[in-house]
Amino acid sequence: MNNNWDYDQCPLCGSSKRASSSRCWSCYKAWCNDIPGKFWEKVQKTDSCWLWLGAKSKTGYGSFGGPDGTILAHRFAWILANGPVPDGMCILHRCDNPPCVRNDSNGHLFLGSQQDNVSDCIEKNRHSTPPRLKGDLHPHAVLNATLVRLIRAEAATGVRRTDIARMLGVDKTTINRVVNRQTWTHII
């Protein structure tokens, strides 16, 4: 095993980390796993709409800095509940309230085609968020795009896949598939 990297201290927990990484593995994983928490702390739930309190576009749609860059907040909320948005589809509001991110079973968000609501799609394109969150942040997904990139970067520098699997608490087969690009093929 190639093990001649430089190490220094993780700024978050003080444990040892590779000098080229911003934080240690466990802090990285915690950060990735806390993305839904980071999202919901910016939401105020009322009896009807759940209002996004974070950044908004001129037209009132919320935007959220997710693992793959900025994404529309209501789109992200739908992904958290339902998984990836199919290619070419939009997430629309039943309530016609752009900052609303209500995604529960009584939710105000639904999947529609471009024809159903042109403005939502225009908004989506304005944010240049192509439908690339395939597989990402699905409730059942163990990994996300950020972790996939990290896994590939670590494997490329010679970290054993067994070690990566143990550190992330996932099966070695999962790591192999990611590194061999049998899964998460849409992530560069």
What is the contact surface with Zn ion in residues (CB under 5 A)?
10, 12-13, 24, 27, 49, 95, 97, 100, 102, 108
Of 108 and 124, which has the nearer Cβ to Zn ion?
108
Of 102 and 161, which has the nearer Cβ to Zn ion?
102
Least distance to Zn ion from the beta carbon of 43, Å?
A: 11
Least distance to Zn ion from the beta carbon of 153, Å?
A: 17
**What is d(CA 172, CA 74) in angstroms, rounded to the nearest whole number?**
34
Q: Answer yes or no: are the C-beta atoms of 29 and 168 closer than 8 Å.
A: yes
The answer for residues whose C-beta is within 8 angstroms of residue 165's C-beta and 6 or more apart is 171, 172, 174, 175
Return left, alpha or beta for 160; rule: phi > 0 is left, psi -120 to 50 is alpha, else beta. beta
Which amino acid is located at 41 in the chain?
E
Least distance to Zn ion from the beta carbon of 95, Å?
A: 3
Least distance to Zn ion from the beta carbon of 98, Å?
A: 9
Of 49 and 77, which has the nearer Cβ to Zn ion?
49
Of 9 and 182, which has the nearer Cβ to Zn ion?
9
Residue 6 has phi, psi (to 5 degrees) of -85, 145
Calculate the CA dihedral of residues 97, 98, 103, 105 and round it to 10 degrees.
Answer: 30
